[in-house]
Amino acid sequence: MTYRIQGLNPARFADPEALIADGAIRMTAGADSGYPCRVTLQDAEPGETVLLLNYVSADVRTPFRTTHAIFVREGATTAPRYDDEAPAYLEQRPLSLRGFDGAGMIRAAANAAPGGADAGIRGLLEDEEIDYVDVHHAAWGCFLARAHRSGDA
């Protein structure tokens, strides 16, 4: 089973002033790793400017529609793609993994300890009913990434 994870499209976050007018908050990343950028799929460096904003991660017409706060590095321009591996920033956190089918229903879920992102994603995608896995921070609940089966949109 292979999968793909890609950062969010940076064009969605290119106008920080418009995002702030819509409720985003400009912050400075601290010394800890609590500022994971959803575009670059890396933690922001201490002193870097990030935007904290609301994001609809599961835009489905089911009871599982999900919206929560995310961080985006201000000025992020590149969304990397990871083929058949989890970005390091996922592997260092406790995670909640949610396996969705094509109709937007959760079919399975799991927790992953630090270091368990790749194995947890693969385990859920072994179920043929699961089209993708949404990865969330286990404690904070915020969306971190989406893992698609390779070849899926």
Residue with tokens 């194995």: 119
The phi and psi torsions of 112 (rounded to 5 degrees) equal -135, 130
pLDDT attached to residue 131: 95
Beta strands in the chain (DSSP E): 3-6, 25-28, 36-37, 42-43, 49-58, 66-73, 81-83, 95-100, 106-112, 132-137, 143-149
pLDDT attached to residue 26: 97
Q: Are 87 and 41 in contact (CB under 8 A)?
A: yes
- What pLDDT digit, counting tens, does each position of 33-49 carry? 789 999 999 999 999 99
Cα end-to-end distance, the chain, whole Å: 16
pTM score of the predicted model: 0.92
pLDDT attached to residue 151: 61
The phi and psi torsions of 58 (rounded to 5 degrees) equal -120, 85
Q: Are 29 and 46 in contact (CB under 8 A)?
A: yes
Beta strands in 74-131 (DSSP E): 81-83, 95-100, 106-112
pLDDT attached to residue 28: 96
pLDDT attached to residue 55: 94
The residue ranges of the chain whose pLDDT is under 50 are 153
**How far apart are alpha carbons 116 and 114 in whole angstroms?**
5
